[in-house]
Chain A
């Protein structure tokens, strides 16, 4: 039996026995066949000695069982690693960051506790998947629309905690931005409710996020400080209609103005849906992977010869038809000063969706979970298998035209130099309020190519950091590297995080190493040896 680092076999066996008493024999897993299913299927360490593996897993079904499991672990200093549905593929899946941790699998906690139609909010447990929630909303005849990531097989809670994003309306599609109220089991086994949930009898837990004093919701984002057992979300009332437009410009030099005006319009709430930015002329060969942006004269010549626009901005609108048509008209008017600008209405849907609509829409834009995205990239195994999965590289870049150009060129040049394949590349994803995130899907393999991939990604992390671009999220293999880049004040951010960690979890049991935050007892396991 594998034991967690620093835990002897007798203590571990005693801990698992106590966990069995708490949750039932059948929900504690310590046999190889079961533990195999807690590996990260898209791991860049697959099959190597450094692969991050669970020593056991336990699947509680209630808050009380979670508390019992945490207390058992805390009393024996057994490291644990909570997961929600374990579908965070590309960012770690269901495997722990610290090898040898006991995974606390919350999938069985799958209750939709409340959907409040008047408050436009929901309260759910971590095992509720987007598919579960969508079914619940449909079956209850809800008027609410949720925001879903793509693919939509994960957990509302887990996705929000890892800062996932969807495609719908500002304030909702950055999933942690829509959180209102968290319940978490702390390392001592006690239960914390944030915001108005701390006030017994309050009916406003899913209304007023801040509560009193420091807002503690952020303590649980990408964190090591608690096991989240309930989470509240604000939800969007299903609108009457959706409209999508495109604003296309024909010169390399127009990108800065395109982004500048688009930003002003979004920050002024003139459109509410997720905007898109792209280069039609540079995505002719591969619509999901933009080519390197060439010099201005080269790009302008490509545009002249092909007639395909240099850049496009795609605003999306959700609301009553007469309102969003007026908004679209106003948005167009703000770009008319750009020579050669072209406008097109690229989509309009009257909600609720008809069966015909369902055949042609991108479902996540309407809060409908889907696995259609797996139609690109990996498609099984055998000769036609392009990869065994993927990881995401996702760095926050400046929200400007120059930001798009610089990030595209640096990323493309580095991938070329380092021999790194990308099968998706979007330099300006806009799920999160007021930001651009460069998104690159890197294929992973199970045949020994991953060492080179890891070295290349680490080099790109450092290169991006040298430009002031840091990842907002990453797979476990790179968490130390990414946190290393956030180094202002001699790594004060990490040092404060670790002071908080040591104070709230003195035995260092919860999610050690997650996003580069290590408890004192395991700090030497950081990739730099715990030096900083």
Chain B
């Protein structure tokens, strides 16, 4: 069973690397930053830690009540300036992120990635 699981993971990794080859570098960077910095709270599926409980997604589901997607990767309306607003000012229990941990270029890359992910 564990061998099978390892094979599945390997297959997923190969698929990702094939996808990465054709991906815009900024989008690829945005994907990586999103996975590391945002997905543990705001992912749409099991996050970086395969967590099924994503508090940010759950909070937004309650807030929007179906009017907007709860998972950020399903949102096409999050431009870099909008993301900057939330990231640099914080929201609710989510604190701000400093430039030393999330640069303006990282935020622009996240915005580029979300445009792609929401179109998937």
A84 to B36, CA, bound (A): 18
Verify if A363 is at the interface (C-beta below 8 Å from B).
yes
A358 within 8 A of partner (CB): yes
Q: B80 → chain A, closest Cβ, in Å?
A: 15
For the complex formed, measure the closest distance between the CB of A388 and the CB atoms of chain B, giving whole angstroms. Answer: 7
List, in ascending order, chain B residues with CB within 8 A of A37's CB. 88, 96-99
Number of A-B residue pairs at CB separation under 8 A: 113
Please give, as numbers and ranges, the residues of chain A lying within 8 Å of B66 by CB-CB distance: none
With most chain A CB atoms within 10 A of its CB, the pick from B52, B54, B60, B94 is B94
Contacting pair B95 A41 (CB below 8 A): yes
- Taking a contact as CB atoms under 8 Å apart, the answer to whether B63 and A380 are in contact is yes
Q: Which residue of B lies closest to A85 (CB)?
A: B101
Quick one: which of A365-398 are within 8 Å of B by CB? 368-375, 377-382, 384-385, 387-390
Chain A residues, CB < 8 A from B40: 131, 153, 369-371
Tell me how many residues of B have a C-beta within 8 Å of chain A.
35
Say yes or no: is B67 at the interface (Cβ < 8 Å to chain A).
Answer: no
**CA separation between A497 and B62, bound complex, in Å?**
49
Interface readout for A28-57 with B: 1 if CB under 8 Å, 0 if not? 010001101111011000000000000001
Q: A41-B96, A86-B101, A107-B101 are in contact. Are A379 and B59 (CB under 8 A)?
A: yes
B68 CB within 8 Å of chain A = no
> Across the interface, which residues of A come within 8 angstroms of B89, CB to CB?
36
Closest Cβ neighbor of B98 among chain A residues:
A37
Stretch of B19-27, B41-49, B71-79, B108-116 that contacts chain A: B41-49
Determine chain A's interface SS by DSSP, over half rule: loop
Contact B52 A352 (CB under 8 A): no
A134 within 8 A of B: yes
The CA-CA distance from A18 to B89 in the complex, in Å, is: 29
Minimum CB–CB distance for A31 against chain B, Å: 11
Say whether A93 faces chain B, with CB atoms less than 8 Å apart. Answer: yes
Cβ of A94 within 8 Å of any chain B Cβ, yes or no, is yes
Knowing A352-B2, A378-B92, the reply to whether A369 touches B49 (Cβ < 8 A) is yes
Given A369-B49, A379-B55: A105 touches B98 (CB 8 Å cut-off): yes
Is A27 engaged at the interface, CB distance under 8 Å to the other chain? yes
Q: Please measure, in the bound complex, the distance between the C-alpha atom of A107 and the C-alpha atom of B99, giving whole angstroms.
A: 10
CB neighbours of B5 from chain A (8 A) = 354-355
Q: A38-B98, A388-B93 are in contact. Are A33 and B58 (CB under 8 A)?
A: no
The smallest C-beta distance from A44 to any residue of chain B, in angstroms, reads 15
In the bound complex, CA of A86 to CA of B95 (Å): 10
CA distance A29 to B103 in the complex (A): 13
Q: Are B98 and A389 in contact (CB under 8 A)?
A: no
Complexed CA–CA distance, A382 and B1 (Å): 46
Q: How far is the CB of A392 from chain B (nearest CB, A)?
A: 14
Residues on the B chain within 8 Å of A135, using CB: 36, 48
Q: Tell me if A108 counts as interface (CB < 8 A to partner B).
A: yes
Across-interface contacts of B96 in A (CB, < 8 A): 36-37, 39, 41
Is the C-beta of B30 less than 8 angstroms from some C-beta in chain A? Answer: no
Out of A93, A134, A352, which one reaches B95, CB within 8 Å? A93
**Which A residues touch B90, using CB under 8 A?**
41
Contacts of B1 in A (CB 8 A): 354
Residue A89, interface by CB 8 Å: yes
Q: Is A359 part of the contact surface with B, judged by Cβ < 8 Å?
A: yes
Q: A residues within 8 A CB of B48? A: 131, 135
**B59 contacts across to A, CB distance below 8 A:** 379-380
Inter-subunit contact B36/A131 (CB<8 Å): yes
Do A379 and B62 touch across chains, with their CB atoms under 8 A apart?
Answer: yes
Residues of chain B contacted by A388 (CB below 8 angstroms): 92-93
B17: CB under 8 A from chain A?
no
Collect the chain A residues with CB atoms within 8 Å of residue B55's CB. Answer: 371-375, 379
Structural contact, A358 and B46, CB atoms closer than 8 A? yes
Nearest Cβ in chain B — how far from A166, in angstroms?
A: 15
Residue of B nearest to A106 (CB): B100
CA–CA, A378 and B93, complex, Å: 5
Residues of A within 8 A of B51 (CB): 358, 363, 370-372
Does B91 belong to the interface (CB within 8 Å)? yes
B65's nearest neighbour on chain A, judged by CB, is A384
Q: Is the pair A371, B41 in contact by a Cβ cutoff of 8 Å?
A: yes
Let me know if A243 is at the binding interface, CB within 8 A: no
Q: Chain A contacts of B36 at CB under 8 A?
A: 131, 135
Say yes or no: is B53 at the interface (Cβ < 8 Å to chain A).
yes
Q: Please, could you name 15 A-B residue pairs with CB atoms under 8 Å apart, sorted by A?
A: A37-B88, A37-B98, A38-B98, A57-B98, A59-B100, A358-B46, A358-B51, A363-B51, A369-B49, A374-B56, A378-B93, A379-B58, A379-B59, A382-B63, A389-B93
| Extra 9 A-B pairs, beta carbons < 8 Å, given A93-B95, A135-B36, A388-B92 | A29-B99, A42-B95, A57-B98, A370-B51, A371-B54, A372-B51, A372-B53, A374-B55, A380-B91
Residues of chain A at the chain B interface (Cβ within 8 Å) = 27, 29, 33-34, 36-39, 41-42, 57, 59, 85-87, 89, 93-94, 105, 107-108, 131, 134-135, 153, 352, 354-355, 358-359, 363, 368-375, 377-382, 384-385, 387-390
